[in-house]
């Protein structure tokens, strides 16, 4: 299949597929006579793996590591497991940070009764160092 089809099949943009090849997440695809990339079903699976990992927030570099494990069937999976655990922890930290922001933003929003900028609790609240 050509690039457009694998892109559609995996919910990836054509440009992004080419980009993944460029950075080495996908091996350089064999080309047709006229130079078009040709993909096989295994490539779809690999791309699904990549997209899914990216969708879970793994960085490209993390995806690279996960693929390495996936590519070596006999390898101990503990590297992947550690990676996933660490990533989970970072996701949880992000959640906490966003929840803190959320609380402060709710407080700010409550401090606004309308009116002019001078009297606005949002503007005023931002001007103060701490919440």
Partner DNA sequence: CCTTGATCCTCCAGTAACTGGAGATTGTAA
Partner DNA sequence: TTACAATCTCCAGTTACTGGAGGATCAAGG
Nearer to DNA, 19 or 121 (CB): 19
Secondary element (H or E) of residue 121: helix 121-127
The residue within the footprint of DNA, chosen from 11, 40, 41, 59 (CB under 7 A), is 59
Confirm or reject binding of residue 32 to DNA (CB under 7 A): yes
Nearer to DNA, 4 or 107 (CB): 4
Instruction: Choose from Zn ion, DNA, its own copies, none: what does 9 bind? Cβ within 5-8 Å by kind.
Output: none
Instruction: Choose from DNA, its own copies, Zn ion, none: what does 37 bind? Cβ within 5-8 Å by kind.
Output: DNA
Cα angle for residues 94, 95, 99 (degrees, 5° grid): 115
How many Å apart are CA 32 and CA 35, to the nearest integer? 5
CB–CB of 91/57 below 8 Å?
yes
Maximum Cα interatomic distance, the chain, rounded to a whole number of Å: 70
How many Å apart are CA 36 and CA 103, to the nearest integer? 52
Q: In the structure encoding, which two tokens stand for residue 113, read together?
A: 């009764």
Task: Give least dist CB 34 to DNA, A.
Answer: 3
Residue 24 DSSP one-character state: T
Confirm or reject binding of residue 48 to its own copies (CB under 8 A): yes
Q: In the structure encoding, which two tokens stand for residue 115, read together?
A: 């009116």
Confirm or reject binding of residue 99 to its own copies (CB under 8 A): yes
The footprint of its own copies (CB under 8 A) covers 45, 48-49, 52-53, 55-57, 66, 69-70, 72-78, 80-81, 84-85, 87-88, 91-92, 94-95, 98-99, 101-102, 104-106, 108-109, 112, 114-120, 122-123, 126-129
């Amino acid at each position: 299949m050509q690039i457009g089809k694998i892109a559609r099949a995996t919910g990836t943009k054509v440009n992004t597929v080419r980009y993944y090849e460029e950075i080495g997440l996908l091996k350089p695809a064999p080309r047709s006579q006229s130079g078009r990339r040709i993909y096989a079903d295994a490539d779809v699976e690999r791309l699904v793996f990549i997209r899914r990992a990216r969708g879970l927030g793994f960085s490209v570099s993390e995806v690279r590591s996960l693929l390495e494990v996936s590519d070596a069937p006999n390898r101990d999976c503990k590297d992947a497991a550690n990676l996933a655990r660490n990533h989970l922890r970072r996701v949880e930290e992000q959640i906490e940070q966003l929840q803190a922001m959320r609380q402060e933003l709710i407080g700010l929003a409550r401090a606004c009764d309308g009116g002019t900028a001078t009297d606005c609790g949002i503007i005023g609240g931002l001007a103060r160092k701490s919440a």
